[in-house]
């Protein structure tokens, strides 16, 4: 009575468990995340149906709830309304008990109705998948025990049940906004984790994703491996998927004497690349000025703290840090100029009410002042801006 239909060596049970959990993470990243939440790709009904049923069996998650909670996370990122930000709740709570934050938000009907639009609403969803979300995981338990025996089956099922709560709700939502490296200086605290690609399906490239949320491909650098993208490309070759958007790659042309409308469009399109490059220049200046700043202010701060203060987005510093930064900038006109011009550059693509002519004039004025600033990094950066191409 304790034996299953399959009699496998111990290592085969491990392989089977890893294979099934990998299908689950692939279903989450391809179907729930990139297809449903962000519409980065279209899926043929056949793989879409498979992903829906598999997720029902292995997670009990409802598509509408997952998509709604994730969309709200993007809309309210790192604020008290964010369903699972470690910047708000603390890293330990999100990492180890993030699944409870998800369950709490799933019960918020306002969130589901506001952010859950466009998700499946067919007969199967209404009568089975959403109506009986826990039935699937019970069926999965029965299948595991029948195939592998009682104790191996229960153990395999247990790993399946904790896989997404830990890796997705804990690691991605927790560490992915707390620890790691950043390719883009986007407004939230998202980071890239490396090298967890096979276990998390590409979701570890979280900073890339938050910078370009509607991209079906999450990798940017040569050393980043997005296994979810590999599966999407395979589905596309088979005619089972169609990619709608990927991360735009900056293009450059010969140095223009003056920025034009194409330059403006390219700068706005590649604003994350623009700002990332600018922040690197800012960090170089901060390094050069660190000793002088410390001597002038007499304050106790490290070079790492200075870099963080200078590169932080609005709202990421507490009142004391903001005051200390303001004091430091008053003591160093070079840094004060670069920080102020950074805010002006950021405002360029945030001014939705301005006309194209007004935005172009603002960009040209910004470049002219950068070139006349006497700060080499600004002068070099202004030339880079004039080389962006559509």
Per-residue pLDDT of 194-229, as tens digits, reads 877 788 999 999 999 999 999 999 999 999 999 999
Say whether 126 sits in a helix, a strand or coil.
helix
Check pLDDT > 80 for residue 301: no
User: Using H for helix, E for strand and C for coil, what is the string for 315-360?
Assistant: CCCCHHHHHHHHHHHHCCHHHHHHHHHHHHHHHHCCCCCCCHHHHH
First to last CA, the chain: 67
How many helices and strands in the chain, by DSSP H and E? 20, 4
User: For 82-119, what is each residue's pLDDT tens digit?
Assistant: 999 999 999 999 999 999 999 999 999 999 999 999 99
Question: Average pLDDT of 360-381?
Answer: 93
Q: How many CA atoms lie within 13 A of 57 on its CB side?
A: 18
Residues 179, 181: Cα–Cα separation, whole Å: 7
Residue 138: its H or E element: helix 133-148
Could you tell me what percent of the chain has a pLDDT over 90?
Answer: 73
More confident: 167 or 320: 167
Q: What residues pair up with 42 in beta bridges, in sequence order?
A: 242
Question: Average pLDDT of 178-187?
Answer: 89
303 band by pLDDT with thresholds 50, 70 and 90: confident
User: For 263-294, what is each residue's pLDDT tens digit?
Assistant: 999 999 898 899 888 988 888 888 887 877 77
CA 260 to chain centre: 32
Say whether 45 sits in a helix, a strand or coil.
helix
pLDDT at 302: 79
pLDDT at 60: 95
């Amino acid at each position: 009575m304790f034996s299953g239909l399959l009699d496998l060596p111990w290592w085969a049970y491990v392989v089977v468990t890893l294979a099934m959990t990998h299908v689950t993470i692939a279903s989450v990243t391809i179907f729930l995340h990139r297809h449903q939440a962000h519409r980065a790709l279209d899926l043929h009904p056949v793989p879409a149906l498979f992903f829906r049923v598999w997720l029902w069996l292995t997670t009990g998650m409802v598509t509408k709830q997952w998509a709604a909670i994730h969309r709200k996370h993007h809309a309210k990122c790192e604020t008290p309304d964010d369903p699972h930000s470690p910047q708000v709740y603390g890293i330990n709570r999100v990492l180890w008990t993030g699944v409870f934050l998800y369950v709490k938000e799933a019960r918020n009907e306002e969130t589901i109705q506001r952010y859950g639009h466009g998700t499946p609403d067919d007969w199967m969803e209404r009568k089975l998948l959403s109506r009986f979300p826990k039935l699937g995981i019970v069926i999965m338990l029965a299948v595991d025990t029948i195939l592998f025996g009682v104790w191996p089956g229960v153990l395999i099922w247990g790993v399946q049940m904790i896989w997404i709560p830990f890796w997705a709700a804990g690691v991605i939502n927790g560490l992915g906004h707390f620890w790691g490296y950043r390719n883009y200086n986007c407004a939230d605290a998202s980071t890239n984790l490396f090298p967890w690609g096979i276990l998390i399906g590409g979701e570890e490239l979280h900073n890339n994703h938050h910078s370009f949320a509607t991209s079906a491909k999450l990798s940017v650098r040569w050393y980043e491996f997005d296994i979810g993208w590999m599966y999407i490309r395979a589905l596309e070759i088979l005619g089972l998927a169609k990619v709608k958007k990927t991360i735009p790659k900056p293009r450059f042309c010969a140095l223009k004497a003056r920025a034009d409308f194409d330059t403006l469009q390219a700068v706005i399109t590649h604003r994350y690349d623009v700002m990332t490059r600018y922040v690197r220049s800012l960090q170089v200046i901060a390094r050069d000025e660190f000793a002088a700043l410390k001597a002038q202010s007499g304050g106790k701060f490290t070079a790492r703290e200075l870099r963080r203060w200078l590169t932080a987005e609005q709202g990421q510093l507490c009142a004391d840090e903001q005051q200390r930064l303001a004091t430091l900038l008053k003591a160093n006109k070079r840094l004060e100029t670069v920080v102020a011009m950074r805010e002006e550059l950021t405002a360029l693509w945030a001014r939705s009410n301005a006309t194209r002519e007004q935005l172009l004039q603002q960009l040209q004025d910004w470049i002219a002042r950068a070139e006349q600033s006497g700060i080499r990094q600004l002068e070099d950066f202004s030339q880079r801006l004039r080389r962006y191409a559509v």
